[in-house]
Amino acid sequence: MENEKALDRVLKQLAEDVRLFIELSLQEPDTSWDEWLKLSTRNTPVRCWEMKGCGKVDCPAFLNKEGRCWLIAGTMCEGRIKGEFALKYKSCTECNVYRESIFVDPVTEIYEHVLTLVHSFRTTQSKLRAQATKDPLTGLYNRAYFNEVIMNEMQRAKRYGNSFSIVMLDVDNFKWINDCYGHIFGDKILRDCAEILTRSVRASDVLVRFGGDEFVIVMPEGDIERCQEMVERIKSNVDEWNTRLANPDYSLSLSAGCANYSQGMDIMSVLKEADEKMYREKRASGSEM
């Protein structure tokens, strides 16, 4: 009877944890997964570094108080880096830390298998979303994600009367860069531009590789003045990059255009306005290639 009560209690807890995971998995931030993992492992903390007296400070599991080492990618067991759980399953399940923690009784073992399966689902979900929304060259968001963000910002503008700003940027003379220095160098320029822009934007801004050598920044609750301040910050960081490169034959520059969206406006007209301003600046500087 006591065993049946214990089993019933564990199954109810498992059902609750899985239900909570489904709810949290609908949220975009990775913090939702971290929150679920903390809640689902609150009763059985497993600290491999503590159990083994480990001193590998570079291991991502070191001093980790919530996660299980077998669910953490890149652990440094046996003196070498381990991959994700699916790749290190055999070695982890043979480890005494795993065995002492999980093979306590059949219920605990089943619970941990479900937890691991859920973790695998979440990891796969994150990978698929990254593939669908991230540009593989620069690591920035891509145009598909931009379309999602624009729809969300338009809904916010309609609901709360907010406005938002669009900044369009283009690498000057990019075709000339590829022709003179090659596409590998051209790719490096795009990655460096992504790094410069990432350092220049606010945490609330959304930075996108729009296509080719063109980038877009969505500034929630922005205005033209803030746009101009951002553009000046970007150009200052570009100047710093040029100083560090110190190449007398090449100097990086970006052209930019800003436009504001308010409730009821045509978003395509706003994008066109930003694009036209960007090309006006490009023509004025004589860098239309």
99: Cβ contacts below 8 Å, ≥ 6 apart: 93
Q: For 62-129, give the DSSP string.
A: TT-SSS-GGGSTT--GGGS----HHHHHHHHHTSHHHHHHHTTSHHHHHHHHHHHHHHHHHHHHHHHH
Q: Which of 192, 213, 223, 249 is catalytic?
A: 213
Number of domains in the chain: 2
Q: Are residues 124 and 26 in the same domain?
A: yes
135: annotated active-site residue: no
Which of 101, 133, 165 is where one domain is finished?
A: 133
The fraction of the chain above a pLDDT of 90, given in percent, is: 40
Q: Taking the model in full, what pTM does it have?
A: 0.67
Range of the domain at 239: 143-285
> What CATH number corresponds to the domain at position 198?
3.30.70.270
Residue 214 has pLDDT above 70, yes or no: yes
Q: Are residues 183 and 118 in the same domain?
A: no
> Are the beta carbons of 273 and 167 closer than 8 angstroms?
no
Give pLDDT tens digits for 216-255. 999 998 788 889 999 999 999 999 999 987 676 788 999 9
Q: Are residues 211 and 235 in the same domain?
A: yes
> Does residue 214 belong to any structural domain of this protein?
yes
**Cα(112)–Cα(270) distance, rounded to whole angstroms?**
52
11: Cβ contacts below 8 Å, ≥ 6 apart: none
Q: Are residues 277 and 223 in the same domain?
A: yes
Query: How many Å separate Cα 48 from the centre of its chain?
Result: 28
pLDDT band at 267 (very low <50, low <70, confident <90, very high): very high
> Does residue 138 belong to any structural domain of this protein?
no
**Cα(15)–Cα(139) distance, rounded to whole angstroms?**
37
Placement of tokens 């690498």 in the chain:
171
* Per-residue pLDDT, 86: 60
